[in-house]
Structure formats: structure tokens, C-alpha cells
Amino acid sequence: MTHVRPQLRSQRLRMVNHQGDALRDLPQQDLENAQRGACPTCGACQFMGSASTGQVLAEALGLALPGSALTPAPLARLLRYARATGKAAVGLIQANLTARSILTRDAFENAIILHAAVGGPPTRCRTCR
């Protein structure tokens, strides 16, 4: 299996294999489409990089509301999650629940399994140690 990675040079997208051998150049329009697809809105990129992985790990650990990870910034749903998070925080305080009671061994094991499942970057493995 040949692994292909993009390499930017002089506003061109050159596809190279894992050994660095050039396979072909892509037109400027393809470069712009790739850039728009990688970061279509404000907020975290739409691929599983460090920021996106951190978001899903926070959810897996129980530190974010279920379904809130990876919500693009311009969506009204993000504001609804923000309000719901505030209400949940007040509820946690009233119930005297602390991070220590949420961040259990099971929560960390769940996050480690999720990290492996989504193929997150190795830098996020340190988060779960």
C-alpha cells in the first residue's frame, strides 16, 4: 500500500509517496478545495487532529456534554450546548459532584479506547496517562 501525503510548494499541491517521490502536481483549484475542506468554518478543523481529538476525549471522559464535540462554531447548536453546559455545571455544583467523581478509571479507559478507535494523534495519548 502506497501512503500519499500532500506537500505544499509554491502554492501548488504536490502529491508525494512515503519516500518523498513526487507522484503528480494538482491544479490551483484542487489546492483551494483541499484547504476549504480541511477547515470549512471557524473552530477546530474537520479532521482528527489534536484539537478535534481533544474535544472527543473531553466528551468521552465526561467533561463535555454528550454530542457536543466537533460542533462547528457558526452553528446555533453550539450556543445551545454552551447554555446547556452552564446549566449542567450549576447542577453539578448543587449535587456536590467534583471532577474527581467524574474522572474515574472507567472514564480514562473509555477515553483511551476512543482515542485508539478514532486514530487520534500520539500527542493526545499523554492526556490520558
- pTM, full prediction: 0.61
pLDDT in tens, 8-31: 444 555 556 556 666 566 677 776
Distance CA 48, CA 56 (A): 9
pLDDT in tens, 60-72: 999 999 988 888 7
C-alpha cell at 52: 478535534
Predicted local confidence at residue 10, as pLDDT: 46
Q: Per DSSP, which regions of 1-129 are E strands?
A: 4-9, 12-17, 22-26
